[in-house]
Each structure stands twice: as structure tokens, then as C-alpha cells.
Amino acid sequence: MDSAERPVFYYDLGSPYAYLAAERVNAVLPVVPVWQPILLGGIWKATGGGSWSLGDARARGMADVEARAAHHGLRPLRWPPGWPNDTLAAMRAAIFAQKAGRVVAYSLAAFRQAFAAGRDLSKTDNVLISAAACELHPAAVLKGIESRAVKEGLRRATDEAAERGVTGVPTVAVGDRLFWGDDSLEAAAAALARA
């Protein structure tokens, strides 16, 4: 299966549900997906959406994420101080890691920094710790996240996801079908198996 036919896993490092999906997606899907970082804020800007974490559903949503993490055998969830945090630099670093062929390793390290270690990814040091975990040099990452190519890459990926119909993360795209939510991975896997 070439990269044009592979499923695509869309995510933002600030989403705890995307964290849950990231920990399972490569094992659940019968084909390793393309990991595509996008800015959830950019998706919401295009679609008029918003975060459950800023409203009345916050406590219920956090409890749900914690229960799902436990159900899947993940480490107990630790929420970063001030969550939700600004993930722009972390997401640019994900695009940089993608260009370096290390997007999966970087993204898992960053998700774990945020939701297993409770570290704020709006702080550059925490982004660099994640990058170092997958052997990306801190100076190169710092330069990369300020580069026009990386900034435009993230914007383009987000715009393309919105045009494809992505309205939230995590989303797995299988052909023209979109499976939204960490609890939809099995349905995406079934669709891939039938394809």
C-alpha cells in the first residue's frame, strides 16, 4: 500500500483523546497510518467548533479520558498545569519531525510529556525534551519551528484536513471515510480490512 492509499491519523498534541488514540493506532489498524499533525484551533476556525475543555463538560470529559486511559492500560493521566495549553510550537516541532522522518517517535514522546508526565507543551523546554527523546537536535528544532517551510507546512496540513472534512481530533481517514474519536479506531480498522 503506497502512502497515497494509507490511512491518515490526524492529531493535535494538546488533545488528550488524540493521546489515547496515538498510543493505540499503530497496533489497532492493520496498516500503519500516515501520522499527520494539524492545528485543532485552525480546524475550529474553519468549522466554527470549540473545545469541550472550556465549558460545562470539562470535568466529565477529563474523567472520561482518565477512565479510558486506565481501560487501555496506560499510565495514570497527569494533566499539564493550565491545560489546555498553547501547542503551536509543539505542533511546528511535529512538522519538523515529520520532515526528518521521526514524527511518530516525537509525537508519542510529546504526548507522554503532556499527559503521562503532566508537562506543559507551551514551554519550549518540554518540546525540546520530547525532540531529544527521538534524537532531534535541540538547536535544529528551535531553528526549524521558526522556519517558513515548517510554519507553512502546518498551515497547509491543517487546511487540507479541513477541506477533507476533518472537524476534530483524533480522526483517522480511510479513503473518503472519516472516523472521529479514539473510540473509532476499531471501526477504521474494520473499514481498512474490507478495503
pLDDT of residue 195: 80
pLDDT of residue 4: 59
- Backbone φ, ψ for residue 157 (5° rounding): -60, -40
CATH fold for domain 8-194:
Glutaredoxin (3.40.30)
pLDDT in tens, the chain (195 residues): 555 589 999 999 999 999 999 999 999 999 999 999 999 999 999 988 889 899 899 999 999 999 999 999 999 999 999 999 999 999 999 999 999 999 999 999 999 999 999 999 999 999 999 999 999 999 999 999 999 999 999 999 999 999 999 999 999 999 999 999 999 999 999 999 998
pLDDT of residue 1: 52
Rounded to the nearest 10 degrees, the angle between the axes of helix 124-133 and helix 103-115 is: 130
10 Å CB burial of residue 94 (0-12, 13-18, 19+) is: buried
**Is the pTM here over 0.85, yes or no?**
yes
